[in-house]
Structure 1
Amino acid sequence: MIVLCIKHDGECPQCGTTLHPSQLNCPTCGADLQWHQGNPFLCTECAKEKTKKIIPKDHLLHQLNNSLNSIFKAFTLCDQNRFGECAEEISETINKLCDVLEIIENNEIIEQ
């Protein structure tokens, strides 16, 4: 059974009345909603949000180093007047860096 809090479901768990996530009591049945407002122990979605992967710092450093090498490759292509290839390399590098930022934002980083 999937259980959702009012933050993710928007309904009173007792009577089904549509609620605003900031409400502390249900206006229809009077249910106390404080325990149901984003509780990872009750809500399946909150539990997913709370669960983060653990990523080794070395993995991120390797990805950042690859991106740095791609930037130097792009500069070399520009120096050789190969601007189309340079732009493509820069675009790919930006995507790699965005991926690294997403990993940092969504995961726990640890020393190894």
Structure 2
Amino acid sequence: MKLTTKKGGMVMIILCIKHDGECPQCGTTLHPSQLNCPSCGADIRWYQGNPFLCAECAKEEAKKVVPKDHLLHQLNSSLNLIFKALTFCDQNRFGECTEEISRAINELRNVLETIENNEIVEK
């Protein structure tokens, strides 16, 4: 089945290959005319091979579980880089200071992306 609809100037294509119209997340039966995610009601778009969930629900389903201790270790490592950079600045070693600050920013960015894209659990 291939269903094409035009909404707001965008063409959305929904493909049903073998799931027989059933949402793999909640088991809700979908009809060919149904263009909404059964979890949140958003428009359904093809997302990573899953035609029955909207992009946000599919993204939510794909989240990994990350232990809180791992994130705390990464944050501690980033803070240590900042202190190291400040030590270099205090010693007038500005080139090394800049490199350490850049590394710290990249590590902090990675931690924030991990927090945003994954489920955090106590361990």
TM range (shorter): 0.5 to 0.7
- Structure with higher RCO (Cα < 8 A, 6+ apart): 1
Structure number with the higher helix fraction is 1
* Letter paired with 2:66: I
Aligned residue number for residue 20 of structure 1 = 8
| Partner-residue secondary structure (3-state), 2:102 | helix
Identity of aligned residues (%): 53
How far apart in 1 are the matches of 2:98 and 2:86? 10
Residues 1-112 of structure 1: matches in 2 within 5 Å?
Answer: 14=3, 16-20=4-8, 31-34=33-36, 37-38=43-44, 42-43=52-53, 45=55, 48-50=58-60, 51-112=62-123
Structure number with the higher strand fraction is 2
How far apart in 1 are the matches of 2:114 and 2:36? 32
How far apart in 1 are the matches of 2:122 and 2:90? 38
How far apart in 2 are the matches of 1:55 and 1:64? 14
How far apart in 1 are the matches of 2:35 and 2:59? 20
1:32–1:105: structure 2 CA closer, same or farther, 3 Å change rule? closer
1:35–1:96: structure 2 CA closer, same or farther, 3 Å change rule? closer
Task: Answer yes or no: is the 8 Å Cα contact 2:85–2:97 preserved in 1.
Answer: yes
1:83–1:35: structure 2 CA closer, same or farther, 3 Å change rule? closer
Deviations 1:44-79 (A, max 9, x none): 855541220000000000000101111110011011
How far apart in 2 are the matches of 1:103 and 1:43? 23
How far apart in 1 are the matches of 2:36 and 2:97? 55
With normalisation by structure 1, the TM-score equals 0.67
How far apart in 2 are the matches of 1:44 and 1:38? 4
* Letter paired with 1:76: T
The runs of 5 or more residues in structure 2 that have no matched partner are 10-32
| Runs of 4+ deviating beyond 6 Å | none
